């Protein structure tokens, strides 16, 4: 066994804006002074350009000895280009550190990711040999790796390794869209019921004069403070808002996290910091499961839809571009029926959006998710269904009970204020 060795290490970490459109950029006259940006566009293919916004590179000489065990790295050069914003630089600060793919875990954005070269990598990755090639007179194997499961901090990518020493010549690591957790509420903060029932926290029972817990809850009580009210309109709106948030959570790309009890409207009576409340405040009241069975059934429907449709649990990020078969993964629709324009995205008064998912795996189903956050109803112009098919509504959050029903007008759907609906054809 070799007792000491030295090697040169080149390390590069890059953060990009994916699917950057040169054509759209050139259309805006105000951006002409920034035309130099176009010189930095890169691509993995002609139809998938991307713009690097942050790059850090370093080159080092590394020395290693086994007896006695010693390791030293001498950084010869380091260079960082891109974003200069102080807050963003602080967030990305960890990216300028050395990342060693031989380590079992690598830290990025404050998270520990499991390396595909980890000693337990076979528990988390599937591997496939793609090619062999001679580089500098030495034979290298080209290996591809993908995560075994969604929701774990893993990568997809490839690497070139020496056929006998298994030394890595080059490795590319791509974060998965499922490497993040989506949630509306968690143990720290309001429950879902409290999020629609309180404008302010109510932590008096904690004995700290209501000074503990965050004051920023992004909540709205819908017109009355507290979980109980005799106003039927407020109660109806609160249930609708809970269904809205549950739908956007469970149907979002990535891994959804649902706080225990939110599926049947559990309340902590406005306490958003119940760490010291080992009592009814923090306990889960399972009797609410029967009292709010309509909400439970709605969550069951959402999870069923997520399982049924691969479009709702992709392993790659949505790009809004056409695939080789000419099908877009997603189209963002204006309520008038066409795709959103740049001016539409910049319209601060627009509160309505349609999300049309392209079909996958040659399935006949199309999904259209309609959202209306405005306080007025909206008549949404729905795209024409394929020949011989019709749009049906799988759920509408304005209705207490979901039922499958065909649209009364083939190309129109009325979204009431503060509601969402899922159409399928």
- Residue owning tokens 């739908």: 247
Query: Do residues 284 and 344 both lie within one domain?
Result: no
Token pair of 161, please? 């390794």
3-state helix, strand, coil in the chain (%, to 5): 20, 35, 45
Position 250 in a domain: yes
| Residue 143, number of CB atoms within 10 A of its CB | 20
Q: How many CB atoms lie within 10 A of CB 356?
A: 19
Burial label for 304, CB within 10 Å (0-12, 13-18, 19+), is exposed
Domain housing 294: 182-308
Place of tokens 């499991």: 114
pLDDT per residue, tens digit, the chain (425 aa), is 557 778 787 877 776 665 555 555 555 554 454 454 455 545 443 445 556 666 777 888 888 887 787 888 888 888 777 655 554 555 454 544 556 788 888 887 667 889 999 988 999 999 999 889 998 889 999 999 999 887 788 898 999 999 888 888 889 888 777 667 899 999 999 999 999 999 999 999 999 999 999 999 999 999 999 999 999 999 999 999 999 999 999 999 888 999 999 999 999 999 999 999 999 999 999 999 999 999 999 999 999 999 999 889 887 777 787 766 667 889 999 999 899 998 999 898 999 999 999 765 545 578 999 999 999 999 999 998 887 789 999 999 999 998 889 888 888 999 999 999 999 98
Report the DSSP pairing between strands 405-406 and 352-357: unpaired
Say if 94 falls within a structural domain.
no
d(C-alpha 355, C-alpha 143), whole Å: 36
Residues 121, 170 within the same domain? yes
Transcribe 275-309 into DSSP letters. Answer: GG-TTTTTS--TTHHHHTHHHHHHHHHHHHHHHH-
Question: What are the structure tokens assigned to 76, written together?
Answer: 């010869």
pLDDT value, residue 234: 97
> Are 194 and 174 part of one and the same domain?
no
- Provide the pairing of β-strand 42-43 with 378-381: unpaired
Q: Are residues 198 and 299 both part of a single domain?
A: yes
- Do 75 and 126 lie in one domain? The reply is no
Name the residue among 172, 175, 170 with its Cα closest to residue 10: 170
So what's the pLDDT on residue 47? Answer: 45
Q: How far apart are CA 203 and CA 276, in angstroms?
A: 11
Last residue of a domain, one of 308, 336, 361: 308
Give pLDDT, residue 53. 65
Q: Please, what is the end-to-end C-alpha distance for the chain in angstroms?
A: 64
Residue 4: alpha-carbon gap to chain centroid: 44
- For 337, left (φ over 0), alpha (ψ -120 to 50), or beta? left
Instruction: Provide the pLDDT for residue 34.
Output: 45
pLDDT at 108: 74
Helix (H) or strand (E) segment spanning residue 125 = strand 125-135
Q: How many domains does the chain have?
A: 4
């Amino acid at each position: 066994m070799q007792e000491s060795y030295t090697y040169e290490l080149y390390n590069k970490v890059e953060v990009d804006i994916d699917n950057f459109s040169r054509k759209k950029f050139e259309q805006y006259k105000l951006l002409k002074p920034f035309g130099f940006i176009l010189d930095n566009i890169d691509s993995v293919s002609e139809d998938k350009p991307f713009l690097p916004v942050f790059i850090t590179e370093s080159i080092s000489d590394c020395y290693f000895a086994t007896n006695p065990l010693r390791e030293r790295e001498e950084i010869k050069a380091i260079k960082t280009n891109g974003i200069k914003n102080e807050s963003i630089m602080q967030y990305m600060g960890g990216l300028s550190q050395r990342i060693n793919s031989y380590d079992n875990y690598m830290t990025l954005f404050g998270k520990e990711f499991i390396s595909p070269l980890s000693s337990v990598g076979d528990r988390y990755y599937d591997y496939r040999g793609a090619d062999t090639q001679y580089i500098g007179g030495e034979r290298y194997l080209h290996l591809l790796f993908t995560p075994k499961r969604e929701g774990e901090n893993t990568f997809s990518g490839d690497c070139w390794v020496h056929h006998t020493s298994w030394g890595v010549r080059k490795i590319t690591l791509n974060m998965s869209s499922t490497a993040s957790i989506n949630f509306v509420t968690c143990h720290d903060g309001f429950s879902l019921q409290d999020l629609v029932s309180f404008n302010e926290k109510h932590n008096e029972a904690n004995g700290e004069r209501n000074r503990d817990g965050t004051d920023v809850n992004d909540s709205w009580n819908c017109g009355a403070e507290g979980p109980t009210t005799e106003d039927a309109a407020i109660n109806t709106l609160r249930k609708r808002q809970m269904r809205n948030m549950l739908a956007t959570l469970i149907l979002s790309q990535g891994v959804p996290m649902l706080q225990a009890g939110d599926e049947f409207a559990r309340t902590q009576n406005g306490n958003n910091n119940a760490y010291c409340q080992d009592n009814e405040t923090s306990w889960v009241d399972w009797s609410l499961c029967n009292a709010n069975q309509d909400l439970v059934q709605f969550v069951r429907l959402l999870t069923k839809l997520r399982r049924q449709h691969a479009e709702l649990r992709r392993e790659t990020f949505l790009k809004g571009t056409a695939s080789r078969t000419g099908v877009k993964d997603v189209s963002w629709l204006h309520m008038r029926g066409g795709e959103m324009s740049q001016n539409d995205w910049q319209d601060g008064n627009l509160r309505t959006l349609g999300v049309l998912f392209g079909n996958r795996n040659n399935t006949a189903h199309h999904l259209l998710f309609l959202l209306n956050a405005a306080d007025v109803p909206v008549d949404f112009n729905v795209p024409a269904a394929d020949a011989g098919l019709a749009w049906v509504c799988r759920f509408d959050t304005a209705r207490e009970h979901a039922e499958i029903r065909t649209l009364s007008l083939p190309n129109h759907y009325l979204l009431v204020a503060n509601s969402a609906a899922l159409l399928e054809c």
